[in-house]
Chains A and B, each alone.
Chain A
Amino acid sequence: MVAALVLGSLVAVLLRAEAGRGPGPADWAAVRFTLVQAVLSALVSVVLAIPLARALARRRFAGRRMLVALLGAPFILPVIVAVLGLLQVFGRSGWISQALGWAGLPPVQIYGLHGVVLAHVFFNLPLATRLILQGWQEIPGERFRLAAQLGAGPRAMWQLLERPMLAQVVPGALAVVFAICLSSFAVAVTLGGGPRATTIELAIYQAFRFDFDLGRAAMLSGIQICLTGAAAVFALRTARGEGFGGGLDRAVRRWDGAGRGTKVLDGLVIALASSFLMLPLLAVVLSGLAGLADLPPAVWRAALTSVLVAGGSTGILLAMALPMAVTVALGQGRMVEVVGLLGLAASPLVIGTGLFIIINPVADPSGLALPITALVNAVMALPFALRILVPRASAVVARYGRLGLSLNMGGAPFMWRVLIPRMRPQIGFAAGLGAALSMGDLGVVALFADPERATLPLQVFRLMGAYRMEQAAGAALLLLALSMAAFWLLDRGGKWHAEA
């Protein structure tokens, strides 16, 4: 079914695209911009992540655990909330511009390429840091002991341990960040725009919404599929680990880096990085509290819509992911895993365009905006859910499968009595991720929704477009709270009373 959905949309897109024409200069500009911003975002994120990961790997301090946990948070942070926070810190009338103003300097500009890259770095610096930190922590403790015993200084350390590790880990991190940034829509639609800062996703949206040029949207979607597909395959090949796994909160005992210079450096890196990551969120909370009091009713309606969409999407996600995980665990489905990864290769707007082309002749697509949003969100979250569920399902089958067989527990009893109870923490985690991702998603819904209907992220976006920043901040705070609550509730619910 997933395959039908994804491939069906792709086929629809491609058929439609052939009827169109070749890409024009504006389209090439979008391709160029997409690649340039993705390369820059990947480079900046990873280059900054290396010293941060190193500092986190060799220092132990109060709050380290929390900081590492926080590095996983952007994954479920609604993009529009982060963008709003970044605007309040780095925008024209943001904190930094104000400080510059007092010093008599002109305000900084956030819109355009550097704004897009800034937001991507905000989202992907934590991810890259987690990936690289994982590499650091996979260096066995004995090696550090050996190096310490040999009296290796920072330089020797670098040559013996760190450079070989980085050579393994960094390409994967670059590829992952690059692939993620390729299909950036929400960041581009808020901070980019204009002929010189339009990603392909944004161009699809514009062709769709403003020109209603389905042929062009389809042609752009075709290009986007090729790019993201290639990048996803490349990233999967080069990347190891998933970057939000556990075990990163352990600090290996280290004997190097005792010099004052490295201590100051590490402290500075950690302080800068955490303020870069925390300040925008703090800004949203501060300004949001002010706006929370007089939110228009439309925002509350949108919030309810979002909760419903997220709930539906989570249900769809589990209905797809659980049978797939079980099939893979029983060793019956190499293909199933591949299908699950299709969600990585296709972008929301591409699937959205395809669905629109399919549905348009039959029904009014905007009437189906919300179910479609829930469905597409579920497909997008599917690869992550499978990564969480499959290893656990395999472990349960390996440990209890034969006992179940010898007790003649066929499919259904084993599934309901053993597999699902044993997987509850993982199911809760996957559901929490799915709900938070769906809650914060600003993608397909922007494509389909009419003025009457909106999810909360779309409502925030509309308020921003109308320069009602106070209300936008209030709504963003509400969205942030809802996403985090959804994740927390489901994740906790899964772990509650779960025997080890």
Chain B
Amino acid sequence: MLRLERVTVDNGGFFLRADLEVEAGRKVAVIGPSGAGKTTLIEAIAGFLPVVDGRILWDGADITGTDPGHRPVAMLFQDANLFPHLSVAQNVGLGLRPDLKLDHRQQEQVARAIARVGLAGMEARKPAALSGGQQSRAALARVLVQGRPLLLLDEPFAALGPALKGEMLDLVAGLVDETGATLLMVSHDPGDARRIADQVVLVENGQAHPPQATGELLDNPPPALRAYLG
């Protein structure tokens, strides 16, 4: 379970407050107007922004001061999720060992993850030789081998077309169902939330609200959300 205890995040003078819990295995969409602090929330959980007040807990353990690489977190950014000079297999392998000294068993694990996301046969390709959707799949294969219990997505599919984005979201939903991971994904499209999320965290005016059931919230939005949804 992810718990943010009266947390205040400092993003260069912009402050975001959050006091909420996300149950393990949930799929949660983080939505709200742009500039409200969605990315700030995700980056604080990932450990890229300083928490100036309160605590972040995972399964009861305090991770507020833990390095990003040592948190139970896998994250995909808006772009630059793959290193362009490394092959697909190497990019995925980084999720197991950052120095890429993989043993035989780990190499097999990488190959399985690549096959699982539908990229079998493309292990040796460089990202430039992949389409946008294939690049997203490769990044997801790395998330899979990382095996971290919390997956954070900061709109990594924003540059894809609607059909392809839907396909990726379904893949993500399938992956987290298989692994039992908890998902937090930033989105500004309520359609994304309806598609795969059980719950929604609404972020507005520097405040992240506790999660609510997706259908209930979107069918019956509070004034701030209604203004945003239009």
Contacts and interface: CB of A to CB of B under 8 A. Distances in A.
A209 interface: no
Interface string A393-419: 000000110111111111011100110
Q: Among the interface residues B73, B83, B142, B146, which one has the most CB atoms of the partner chain A within 10 A?
A: B83
B77 A403 contact: yes
Contacts of A195: none
A59 interface: no
B85 interface: yes
A405 B128 contact: no
Contacts of A387: none
Interface in B76-90: 77, 80-81, 83-86
Contacts of B46: 406
Interface in A471-500: 498-500
B80 A399 contact: yes
A406 B69 contact: yes
Nearest to A498: B85
A65 interface: no
B99 interface: yes
A54 interface: no
Given A399-B80, A413-B98, A499-B126, A405 B48 contact: yes
A406 B85 contact: no
B101 to A, nearest CB: 9
Interface residues of B, number: 26
Main secondary structure of the interface of A (DSSP, over half): helix
A406 B74 contact: yes
A493 to B, nearest CB: 15
A437 to B, nearest CB: 28
Interface string A407-434: 1111011100110011000000000000
Interface string B142-158: 10001000000000000
Interface in A319-333: none
B32 interface: no
Interface string B88-106: 0000001100111000000
Contacts of A498: 85
A421 B48 CA distance: 25
Contact of A417 (B73, B86, B146): B86
A406 B73 contact: yes
Interface in B47-78: 47-48, 67-70, 73-75, 77
A408 B77 contact: no
A182 B68 CA distance: 51
Contact of A405 (B69, B86, B100, B126): B69
Contacts of A408: 67-70, 98
B69 A409 contact: yes
Given A408-B69, A409-B69, A499-B85, A403 B98 contact: no
A500 B84 contact: yes
Given A402-B48, A409-B98, A418 B83 contact: yes
A500 B146 CA distance: 27
A405 to B, nearest CB: 4
Given A407-B98, A409-B98, A499-B126, 5 more contacts: A406-B73, A414-B98, A417-B98, A418-B83, A421-B86
22 contacts: A399-B80, A400-B83, A402-B77, A403-B77, A403-B80, A403-B83, A405-B67, A405-B68, A406-B69, A406-B75, A407-B98, A407-B142, A408-B70, A409-B94, A409-B99, A410-B69, A410-B98, A413-B98, A498-B85, A499-B85, A499-B126, A500-B84
